[in-house]
Amino acid sequence: MVTIAPVGTGPFTKSWNVTSTADGDTSAQFAHGFLNHYTPVAPAFVFFTQLEPEAYLHEWTLGVVDTTNINLAAVSATGAGLAGTPQLRVIAMLPQSIMD
């Protein structure tokens, strides 16, 4: 089971911790909630950082990012599950300048 927990929830930058409890967890999808003038908008930048070695075993990759969701994909690997401890932090940002 993959659990997504918000960490930072600002209007222009948000982050989430991803906890994967099983070796066979191969996908995650979660709503990002970004809005621009009350209209859903896709974040311009999405990246992640591994918090635990098990995240490297899962080989997390970024999937489709749209106006509603962020999708992640992983491989099933022995020893990749880690219950109760976040493995990955996803960070997403919207441009916040009139120049962007």
- Over residues 30-77, the pLDDT tens digits come to 999 999 888 999 999 999 999 999 999 999 999 999 999 999 999 999
Instruction: Measure the CA–CA gap between 36 and 28, rounded to whole angstroms.
Output: 24
Task: Examine residue 35 and state whether it is found in any structural domain, yes or no.
Answer: yes
Instruction: Domain of residue 32: give its range.
Output: 2-93
Instruction: Measure the CA–CA gap between 62 and 13, rounded to whole angstroms.
Output: 17
Task: Examine residue 21 and state whether it is found in any structural domain, yes or no.
Answer: yes
Task: Examine residue 25 and state whether it is found in any structural domain, yes or no.
Answer: yes
pLDDT at position 97 over 70 = no
Task: Examine residue 99 and state whether it is found in any structural domain, yes or no.
Answer: no
Task: Examine residue 100 and state whether it is found in any structural domain, yes or no.
Answer: no
Task: Examine residue 55 and state whether it is found in any structural domain, yes or no.
Answer: yes
Question: Quick one: pLDDT at residue 92?
Answer: 97
Task: List Cα–Cα distances, 53 to 27, 29, 31, 86, 93, in angstroms.
Answer: 18, 21, 26, 11, 25
Q: Looking at the 3D structure of the chain, how many domains does it have? A: 1
Reported as a single tens digit per residue, the pLDDT across 10-33 is: 889 999 999 999 999 999 999 999
